Structure 1
Amino acid sequence: MKIIIHHSSMVPIYEQLVDQIKTMILNEELNPGEILPSVRGLAKELKISALTVKKSYDTLEAEGFTITVHGKGTYVAQANRDAKLQEQQKEIEAEFEHAIEKARRYGMTEEDIRAVFDLIMEE
Protein backbone atom coordinates (compact mmCIF):
# COMPACT_ATOMS: atom_id res chain seq x y z
CA MET A 1 0.00 0.00 0.00
CA LYS A 2 1.54 3.27 -1.13
CA ILE A 3 0.89 6.05 1.37
CA ILE A 4 2.75 9.34 1.44
CA ILE A 5 2.79 11.35 4.66
CA HIS A 6 3.57 15.06 4.46
CA HIS A 7 4.98 16.02 7.84
CA SER A 8 5.00 19.72 6.95
CA SER A 9 1.29 19.69 6.03
CA MET A 10 -1.27 21.45 8.23
CA VAL A 11 -3.47 18.34 7.87
CA PRO A 12 -2.98 15.95 10.81
CA ILE A 13 -1.16 12.73 9.93
CA TYR A 14 -4.10 10.52 10.89
CA GLU A 15 -6.36 12.51 8.51
CA GLN A 16 -3.82 12.16 5.70
CA LEU A 17 -3.85 8.41 6.30
CA VAL A 18 -7.65 8.23 6.40
CA ASP A 19 -8.00 10.31 3.22
CA GLN A 20 -5.49 8.22 1.27
CA ILE A 21 -6.96 4.88 2.35
CA LYS A 22 -10.50 6.11 1.58
CA THR A 23 -9.34 7.20 -1.87
CA MET A 24 -7.80 3.78 -2.49
CA ILE A 25 -11.06 2.11 -1.47
CA LEU A 26 -13.23 4.44 -3.58
CA ASN A 27 -10.93 4.00 -6.58
CA GLU A 28 -11.05 0.23 -6.05
CA GLU A 29 -7.29 0.00 -5.51
CA LEU A 30 -8.25 -1.76 -2.26
CA ASN A 31 -11.06 -4.27 -2.68
CA PRO A 32 -13.71 -5.51 -0.24
CA GLY A 33 -12.31 -8.21 2.01
CA GLU A 34 -8.70 -7.15 1.43
CA ILE A 35 -6.65 -6.92 4.62
CA LEU A 36 -4.89 -3.69 5.53
CA PRO A 37 -1.38 -3.74 6.98
CA SER A 38 -1.22 -4.27 10.74
CA VAL A 39 -1.21 -1.15 12.90
CA ARG A 40 2.35 -1.79 14.03
CA GLY A 41 3.54 -2.75 10.56
CA LEU A 42 2.15 0.36 8.90
CA ALA A 43 3.44 2.57 11.72
CA LYS A 44 6.92 1.13 11.29
CA GLU A 45 6.79 1.47 7.49
CA LEU A 46 5.65 5.10 7.64
CA LYS A 47 7.80 5.93 10.67
CA ILE A 48 4.83 7.26 12.65
CA SER A 49 3.20 6.35 15.95
CA ALA A 50 1.12 3.18 16.14
CA LEU A 51 -1.50 5.26 17.98
CA THR A 52 -1.81 7.48 14.91
CA VAL A 53 -2.42 4.47 12.66
CA LYS A 54 -4.90 3.05 15.20
CA LYS A 55 -6.81 6.34 15.24
CA SER A 56 -6.94 6.28 11.42
CA TYR A 57 -8.19 2.71 11.35
CA ASP A 58 -10.81 3.52 14.00
CA THR A 59 -12.01 6.49 11.95
CA LEU A 60 -12.25 4.38 8.79
CA GLU A 61 -14.24 1.76 10.68
CA ALA A 62 -16.58 4.38 12.17
CA GLU A 63 -17.25 5.68 8.66
CA GLY A 64 -17.99 2.17 7.38
CA PHE A 65 -14.94 1.78 5.14
CA THR A 66 -13.27 -1.01 7.14
CA ILE A 67 -14.07 -3.75 9.60
CA THR A 68 -11.70 -4.86 12.34
CA VAL A 69 -11.76 -8.46 13.48
CA HIS A 70 -10.10 -8.81 16.87
CA GLY A 71 -6.95 -10.88 16.54
CA LYS A 72 -7.24 -11.08 12.75
CA GLY A 73 -6.78 -7.55 11.43
CA THR A 74 -8.55 -4.73 9.64
CA TYR A 75 -10.28 -5.46 6.34
CA VAL A 76 -11.88 -3.32 3.65
CA ALA A 77 -15.62 -3.45 4.29
CA GLN A 78 -18.07 -4.82 1.78
CA ALA A 79 -19.13 -1.25 0.99
CA ASN A 80 -22.27 -0.85 -1.03
CA ARG A 81 -22.27 1.22 -4.19
CA ASP A 82 -24.55 3.90 -2.70
CA ALA A 83 -22.09 4.62 0.12
CA LYS A 84 -19.26 5.01 -2.39
CA LEU A 85 -21.30 7.33 -4.58
CA GLN A 86 -22.37 9.38 -1.59
CA GLU A 87 -18.77 9.81 -0.43
CA GLN A 88 -17.67 10.81 -3.92
CA GLN A 89 -20.51 13.33 -4.18
CA LYS A 90 -19.47 14.89 -0.84
CA GLU A 91 -15.93 15.31 -2.14
CA ILE A 92 -17.15 16.94 -5.36
CA GLU A 93 -19.47 19.27 -3.43
CA ALA A 94 -16.55 20.35 -1.23
CA GLU A 95 -14.47 21.12 -4.34
CA PHE A 96 -17.30 23.20 -5.82
CA GLU A 97 -17.75 25.08 -2.54
CA HIS A 98 -14.04 25.86 -2.44
CA ALA A 99 -14.07 27.13 -6.04
CA ILE A 100 -17.18 29.26 -5.44
CA GLU A 101 -15.68 30.81 -2.29
CA LYS A 102 -12.52 31.65 -4.24
CA ALA A 103 -14.54 33.19 -7.08
CA ARG A 104 -16.48 35.35 -4.60
CA ARG A 105 -13.21 36.52 -3.01
CA TYR A 106 -12.13 37.61 -6.49
CA GLY A 107 -15.33 39.65 -6.78
CA MET A 108 -17.21 37.44 -9.21
CA THR A 109 -21.00 37.60 -9.16
CA GLU A 110 -23.24 34.55 -9.10
CA GLU A 111 -23.99 35.17 -12.78
CA ASP A 112 -20.24 35.27 -13.60
CA ILE A 113 -19.67 32.01 -11.71
CA ARG A 114 -22.54 30.30 -13.56
CA ALA A 115 -21.17 31.53 -16.89
CA VAL A 116 -17.75 30.04 -16.12
CA PHE A 117 -19.38 26.78 -15.03
CA ASP A 118 -21.47 26.63 -18.23
CA LEU A 119 -18.39 27.34 -20.33
CA ILE A 120 -16.47 24.51 -18.66
CA MET A 121 -19.38 22.10 -19.06
CA GLU A 122 -19.50 22.82 -22.80
CA GLU A 123 -15.90 21.65 -23.25
Structure 2
Amino acid sequence: MKILISNSSQQPIYEQISSQMKALIIKGELNQGDVLPSIRKLAKELHISVITTKRAYEELEKEGFLETVKGKGSFVAPQNKELLKEKKMKLIEEKLMLVVDESKMFDISYEELCETLKILYYED
Protein backbone atom coordinates (compact mmCIF):
# COMPACT_ATOMS: atom_id res chain seq x y z
CA MET A 1 0.00 0.00 0.00
CA LYS A 2 1.44 3.33 -1.10
CA ILE A 3 0.68 6.28 1.17
CA LEU A 4 2.51 9.58 0.73
CA ILE A 5 2.66 12.16 3.51
CA SER A 6 3.25 15.80 2.71
CA ASN A 7 4.62 17.93 5.52
CA SER A 8 3.82 21.06 3.52
CA SER A 9 0.12 20.18 3.17
CA GLN A 10 -2.51 22.14 5.06
CA GLN A 11 -4.32 18.82 5.63
CA PRO A 12 -3.47 17.07 8.92
CA ILE A 13 -1.42 13.88 8.54
CA TYR A 14 -4.21 11.60 9.82
CA GLU A 15 -6.54 13.06 7.16
CA GLN A 16 -3.91 12.52 4.46
CA ILE A 17 -3.72 8.86 5.47
CA SER A 18 -7.48 8.33 5.67
CA SER A 19 -8.21 10.13 2.38
CA GLN A 20 -5.56 8.14 0.52
CA MET A 21 -6.85 4.86 1.98
CA LYS A 22 -10.42 5.81 1.01
CA ALA A 23 -9.21 6.53 -2.54
CA LEU A 24 -7.53 3.11 -2.71
CA ILE A 25 -10.77 1.46 -1.59
CA ILE A 26 -12.95 3.46 -4.00
CA LYS A 27 -10.61 2.68 -6.92
CA GLY A 28 -10.69 -1.01 -6.03
CA GLU A 29 -6.98 -1.23 -5.24
CA LEU A 30 -7.99 -2.35 -1.74
CA ASN A 31 -10.87 -4.81 -1.63
CA GLN A 32 -13.28 -6.11 0.96
CA GLY A 33 -11.45 -8.29 3.47
CA ASP A 34 -7.96 -7.11 2.57
CA VAL A 35 -5.72 -6.92 5.62
CA LEU A 36 -4.36 -3.46 6.39
CA PRO A 37 -0.99 -2.89 8.04
CA SER A 38 -1.10 -2.72 11.81
CA ILE A 39 -1.20 0.75 13.32
CA ARG A 40 2.38 0.34 14.59
CA LYS A 41 3.68 -1.00 11.28
CA LEU A 42 2.12 1.82 9.24
CA ALA A 43 3.39 4.43 11.71
CA LYS A 44 6.89 2.99 11.41
CA GLU A 45 6.74 2.90 7.59
CA LEU A 46 5.53 6.51 7.40
CA HIS A 47 7.84 7.72 10.19
CA ILE A 48 4.95 9.20 12.12
CA SER A 49 3.36 8.82 15.53
CA VAL A 50 1.32 5.74 16.38
CA ILE A 51 -1.32 8.13 17.75
CA THR A 52 -1.65 9.80 14.33
CA THR A 53 -2.06 6.45 12.58
CA LYS A 54 -4.56 5.31 15.21
CA ARG A 55 -6.63 8.44 14.62
CA ALA A 56 -6.66 7.79 10.85
CA TYR A 57 -7.83 4.20 11.41
CA GLU A 58 -10.50 5.36 13.87
CA GLU A 59 -11.82 7.86 11.30
CA LEU A 60 -11.87 5.18 8.60
CA GLU A 61 -13.70 2.81 10.92
CA LYS A 62 -16.24 5.49 11.88
CA GLU A 63 -16.93 6.14 8.18
CA GLY A 64 -17.35 2.43 7.48
CA PHE A 65 -14.24 1.91 5.36
CA LEU A 66 -12.53 -0.54 7.69
CA GLU A 67 -13.31 -3.00 10.44
CA THR A 68 -11.02 -3.87 13.32
CA VAL A 69 -11.11 -7.31 14.91
CA LYS A 70 -9.40 -7.38 18.29
CA GLY A 71 -6.32 -9.58 18.15
CA LYS A 72 -6.58 -10.09 14.38
CA GLY A 73 -6.11 -6.61 12.87
CA SER A 74 -7.86 -4.18 10.57
CA PHE A 75 -9.58 -5.14 7.33
CA VAL A 76 -11.28 -3.33 4.47
CA ALA A 77 -14.99 -3.32 5.24
CA PRO A 78 -17.66 -4.30 2.69
CA GLN A 79 -18.44 -1.25 0.54
CA ASN A 80 -21.33 0.01 -1.51
CA LYS A 81 -19.39 1.39 -4.52
CA GLU A 82 -22.28 3.55 -5.73
CA LEU A 83 -22.69 5.16 -2.30
CA LEU A 84 -18.94 5.81 -2.14
CA LYS A 85 -18.97 7.41 -5.57
CA GLU A 86 -21.94 9.57 -4.57
CA LYS A 87 -20.09 10.78 -1.45
CA LYS A 88 -17.04 11.64 -3.53
CA MET A 89 -19.17 13.50 -6.09
CA LYS A 90 -20.71 15.56 -3.30
CA LEU A 91 -17.25 16.60 -2.11
CA ILE A 92 -16.19 17.47 -5.65
CA GLU A 93 -19.36 19.51 -6.17
CA GLU A 94 -18.62 21.49 -3.00
CA LYS A 95 -15.10 22.25 -4.21
CA LEU A 96 -16.32 23.18 -7.67
CA MET A 97 -18.86 25.55 -6.12
CA LEU A 98 -15.99 27.43 -4.49
CA VAL A 99 -14.25 27.64 -7.87
CA VAL A 100 -17.43 28.88 -9.55
CA ASP A 101 -17.93 31.54 -6.88
CA GLU A 102 -14.35 32.78 -7.23
CA SER A 103 -14.57 32.70 -11.02
CA LYS A 104 -17.64 34.92 -10.92
CA MET A 105 -15.93 37.23 -8.45
CA PHE A 106 -12.97 37.64 -10.82
CA ASP A 107 -15.19 37.91 -13.89
CA ILE A 108 -13.96 34.69 -15.47
CA SER A 109 -16.43 33.46 -18.07
CA TYR A 110 -18.03 30.04 -18.10
CA GLU A 111 -16.16 29.22 -21.32
CA GLU A 112 -12.79 30.18 -19.79
CA LEU A 113 -13.54 28.13 -16.71
CA CYS A 114 -14.56 25.09 -18.79
CA GLU A 115 -11.44 25.39 -20.94
CA THR A 116 -9.25 25.57 -17.84
CA LEU A 117 -10.96 22.53 -16.34
CA LYS A 118 -10.58 20.62 -19.61
CA ILE A 119 -6.84 21.40 -19.72
CA LEU A 120 -6.34 20.39 -16.10
CA TYR A 121 -8.41 17.23 -16.46
CA TYR A 122 -6.51 15.92 -19.48
CA GLU A 123 -3.10 17.06 -18.30
CA ASP A 124 -0.70 14.23 -17.52
Q: Aligned residue for 2:58?
A: 58
**Structure 1 segments unaligned to the other structure (5+ residues):** none
The residue type equivalent to 1:61 in the other structure is E
Q: Could you say what secondary structure the match of 1:68 adopts?
A: strand
Moved more, 85-94 or 39-48: 85-94
2:76 and 2:56 mapped to 1: Cα distance?
A: 13
Q: Write out per-residue CA displacement over residues 38-71 of structure 1, whole angstroms, 9 at most, x where no aligned residue.
A: 0000000000001100000000011111111111
2:83 and 2:75 mapped to 1: Cα distance?
A: 17
Q: Aligned residue for 1:31?
A: 31
Alignment of 1:64-103 (within 5 A): 64-103=64-103
Q: Write out per-residue CA displacement over residues 6-42 of structure 1, whole angstroms, 9 at most, x where no aligned residue.
A: 1121111001111110111111111111011000000
* Superposed displacement of residue 101, structure 1: 2.7
1:4 and 1:25 mapped to 2: Cα distance?
A: 16
Q: Aligned residue for 2:21?
A: 21
Q: Aligned residue for 2:4?
A: 4
**CA RMSD of the aligned region, Å?**
2.0
The list of structure 1 runs, each at least 4 consecutive aligned residues, that deviate by more than 2 angstroms after superposition, is: 115-121
The residue type equivalent to 2:102 in the other structure is K
* Superposed displacement of residue 92, structure 1: 2.3
2:13 and 2:113 mapped to 1: Cα distance?
A: 34
* Superposed displacement of residue 117, structure 1: 6.7
Q: Could you say what secondary structure the match of 1:67 adopts?
A: strand
Q: Could you say what secondary structure the match of 2:64 adopts?
A: coil
- Aligned positions, number: 117
TM-score calculated relative to the size of structure 1: 0.84
**Structure 2 segments unaligned to the other structure (5+ residues):** 119-124
2:81 and 2:5 mapped to 1: Cα distance?
A: 28
* Superposed displacement of residue 82, structure 1: 3.0
